[in-house]
Amino acid sequence: MNAYLEILRPWNALMAVITIILMAIISGQFTFNAMLAGIAVFIATGAGNSINDYFDHRIDAINRPERPIPSGRISLKTAGIYSIALFTVAIALGFIIGVLPGSIVFLSSLLMVYYAYSLKSKCIIGNLSISFLTGLSFVFGGVVVGEIIISLYLGFFAFLMTMAREIVKDMEDMEGDKSEGATTLPIVYGKKVSAIIAAFFMVFASIGSPILYFVGIFNAAYLIILTVPIALFLSGAISILKDQSVESTKKISKKIKVGMAVVFVAFALGSPFFTSLMNF
């Protein structure tokens, strides 16, 4: 893969775009602004990943030496300039949509830079920041398509799932983070405490997510599809409590990521718009 594309972590950026697509599906508002919002989110998320690699190049040299900066395929200076350019484009697209969307992209961009520079290495605050940004993607989409209340519900559950994965990832990256003096949750309180907290978020998300059906946001298809991610999250919770090794955390992190993807499918197929489309 081209290094300039790889540093964006395009699959992660596409996951953010999916939040906009989901809000468009749920609202039935497939507008030009929704398309611009998707592009802005992709670019901003990619810029956030790029600036994260910029500040994390020493840690990545230990944890992920194959990434573009530590592997020498992109220089540190070039990565910094690239990130700033991407953030600028994303913010401009946000303001083309409107003042509120533009402000959200601008403030999110500032948070992503501050996260990469400082918050990432701080106990729990870094996890909260990235989880908040994930949930905010839904809210941003909700603002653009006019479904703010529903987007708040979805953003909350995205926050829970992301918190679980972020803590598991910190457990996976513990050695590299230690070498740079980071104070992540597993470094400060140990892997066992981190495993308990990660398991809590996985269980909470599993137990709470069916509520979206019972409050009338989604139909029965949502509940049926939801059984898959619930099984993944609960098995992940059990696994992390039993085994906190690097090998185990890698598997659990992937399991949570797959579970989140299936939840997104459940959001789409369980939406009233999709039901009306099928009936048509």
**Which amino acid belongs to residue 139?**
V
Q: Tens of pLDDT along the chain (280 residues)?
A: 688 988 999 988 998 899 999 999 888 888 999 999 999 999 999 999 999 989 888 877 777 888 888 888 888 899 999 999 999 999 999 999 999 999 999 999 999 999 988 887 778 898 999 999 999 999 999 999 999 999 999 999 999 999 999 999 999 888 777 777 778 899 999 999 999 999 999 999 999 999 999 988 898 999 999 999 999 999 999 999 999 998 899 999 999 999 999 999 999 888 877 666 555 5
The fold of 3-279 is Farnesyl Diphosphate Synthase (1.10.600)
- Phi-psi category of residue 123: left, alpha or beta, with phi > 0 → left and psi -120 to 50 → alpha: beta
Residue 197 is predicted with a pLDDT of 96
Residue 246 is predicted with a pLDDT of 87
Kindly report the number of other CB atoms within 10 A of residue 77's CB atom: 9
Q: Decide: 139 and 151 in contact? Cβ < 8 Å.
A: yes
Residue 173 is predicted with a pLDDT of 85
Boundaries of every domain in the chain: 3-279
Q: Please choose, from the candidates 146, 195, 188, the residue with its C-alpha nearest in 3D space to the C-alpha of residue 169.
A: 195
How many whole angstroms from its chain centre is CA 142? 16
Q: Which residues contact 15 (CB under 8 A, 6 or more apart)?
A: 260, 261, 264
Residue 154 is predicted with a pLDDT of 93
Q: Locate 23 and state its tokens.
A: 């809000």
Residue 278 is predicted with a pLDDT of 57
Q: Which residues contact 262 (CB under 8 A, 6 or more apart)?
A: 225, 228, 229, 232
